[in-house]
Structure 1
Amino acid sequence: MSPSQNKLFFKWSEAFDSARHKLLAIRQQEGIEEVKRKGIIIDKNVSLSTYLEFCKGEPSISVKHHLIDGKIEAYEMPLDPHSLIQAKLTNIMDNWNDQLLAMGETDIIVNANSVYRPDICVRPVNRRRPSRAQAINSTGLPYPTMVVEIGSTESLNHMHDKVANYFSVRTTIQIYLAIKLYLRLQNNTFALLALLYLRNNQNPTIPVIAKSFGIASLSNISRAYLLNTIRVPVNMITGVDDEFGGIPCNGANIPGYQIDIPAELLFNDVPDGVPGDAPVNFNIDLWKLQNRISVGLSL
């Protein structure tokens, strides 16, 4: 690494420390900021190769960051609720099938000058190896078929905006699951939201599933954002919310709080297709995620 790179990377590390304090402060904000808030810009006009070089030798950084159109953004504080959901979901996915690999954070090139780092990736064992021009990163490996983003500090708008790049022509990702964690309220309740996007949907930027699965209802602002900005059909927004008439998410195996992940998409571009022992859909019981936060934060 050159002296100029060392100096640059040290400057970024200091900026990330500052971003941590800003994210901790804005995490307490509610209302419109919770929907429209963007990331904190660390630097601009950064090349893909320079950013990936930084990530390879990255020092301990306590905020999540990515490169988007040449801008480095800090956007998420992985505090306890985030970590609890990440661990539980990884465990669920790791037990789906022994031909699926559930992986932690991985740098994913999503276009010519953008790199995302999802919280979880799922990739089938025998997915075809791509050309170097369409590999996930410098490893030359194929893209995962599914990515998961978990947002606490990260706003709903910021999470939704990622779908376009996750499904860009550069990637072969088929499924994007976004889990939004809302701030715990004074009465000790909290809202949670799951959005499932599929590349093969007629409009991939509109989720096929939008489920409120917390202990509290979504805010009016989040509800309006789903209906008026993302334009999710009202009959597709279900779950814990007086507006949508959903029953409480208060136990395992409640039909309305299950998310089915198509095996056909998870095993996309595998020469032998879906394994014979795999179900048509793999399941995520959202109550297990809600319960993990409730238990984990009650200590």
Structure 2
Amino acid sequence: MTNSSTLSEIGLSQELLVSARNSLLGQDPPERGIILAENISLESFQNFCETEPKLPVKIRLVNGTIVAYEVTLTPHGSAVCNVNGLAHDWSKQLLGAFAEDLIVGPNSYFIADLTFRPRRLPPPPPDQACNSSGYAYPNMVVEVGYIESIQSLHELAPFYLSQYTTITIYLAIKLYPSHTHQPGEPGVSPMVAMLYQRTSQTPYIPTRIISFGDAPLHNSTVDFFINMGVPSANFTGFGRHGAPPCNAPNLPVYQLLIPADEIFHRTPSILPDIVFNLDLWEVLDRIINP
């Protein structure tokens, strides 16, 4: 049960949180989520996140504003668990994987869906820890959006890869709700993965975008990526350049290759492979067959 006194300290109520959840589950949720409270300090929000039990909606602090942005439904959880499992198997258990609270700016505090931290990552100076735990920032962060818009996911890159953190990789996966073209037909679901890397000359623009659902991306989504300046060669997958459907494992176009030296940055760990080969068919299959 939610602690009403803690909620009230930052201007929230259980009724407000439930209302935000209902709005996000509606037909047209806002592109950038639902504002719940403003002028909230980092300390008060951090205390809230560390003491409150599970909430009916996912929230984050963005420059002093509390935003509700996601509801944890089955597709969202399935994608997070699958990426976690694939990374765990690849790394031979040398990665610690968590859903983790992260300070990402002077007054911004995010609850990442999944983080990867090498087990031998050196501890940081006390004033450079990722949160009150005292741990170093993870090297990789994963966010999955089901309700959350692709615009919102994209706008997290300047926080995760800013000079305030030492995060090297941000992976965003957007899942679109299933839809049908004709009554009685099985539903199809567009999906897209976006990889952002600190080592890129333009770290806030994806270095790789792969459309991997069982339906092509909507034209507005394609335009969104093209308008941000993503080179055509870096935007591949279903509906792009004649790519085949993502309907089997190990298809070359659906392999998202993530450099191991960036995932294991600042650690002496040696891996058997130089890349983390994330087969997006595995993610798709787990979502449509949870």
Aligned to 2:70: 76
| Whole-angstrom distance in 2 between the partners of 1:53 and 1:98 | 35
Structure 1 residues 244 and 169, CA gap change in structure 2 (3 angstroms): same
Structure 2 portions without partners, runs of 5+: none
| Whole-angstrom distance in 2 between the partners of 1:7 and 1:210 | 41
Q: In structure 2, what residue type is equivalent to 1:235?
A: A
Q: Percent identity?
A: 38
Aligned to 1:148: 142
Residues 130-171 of structure 1 deviation map (CA, whole Å, 9 limit, x = unaligned) = 112211101110011000000011000000000000011110
| 8 Å Cα contact 1:264-1:280 kept in structure 2 | yes
Report the Cα offset of residue 289 of structure 1: 0.8
Residues 22-59 of structure 1 deviation map (CA, whole Å, 9 limit, x = unaligned) = 0010xx34xxx7xx711111100000110011011113
| Whole-angstrom distance in 1 between the partners of 2:60 and 2:77 | 18
Q: Does 1:170 align with 2:155?
A: no
Aligned to 2:258: 261
Q: In structure 1, what residue type is equivalent to 2:134?
A: G
Task: List structure 1 segments (4+ residues) > 6 angstroms apart after TM superposition.
Answer: none
TM-score, normalized by length of structure 1?
0.90
Aligned to 2:248: 251
Aligned to 1:221: 220
Q: Which of 271, 277, 282 in structure 2 is aligned with 1:283?
A: 277
**Equivalent residue runs for 1:53-68 within 5 Å:** 53-68=47-62
**Equivalent residue runs for 1:85-164 within 5 Å:** 85-98=79-92, 100-164=94-158
| Whole-angstrom distance in 2 between the partners of 1:287 and 1:6 | 41
Q: Does 1:15 align with 2:9?
A: no
TM-score, normalized by length of structure 2?
0.92
SS in 1 for 2:100: coil
Report the Cα offset of residue 8 of structure 1: 2.5
Structure 1 portions without partners, runs of 5+: none
| Whole-angstrom distance in 2 between the partners of 1:11 and 1:204 | 34
Q: In structure 2, what residue type is equivalent to 1:24?
A: L
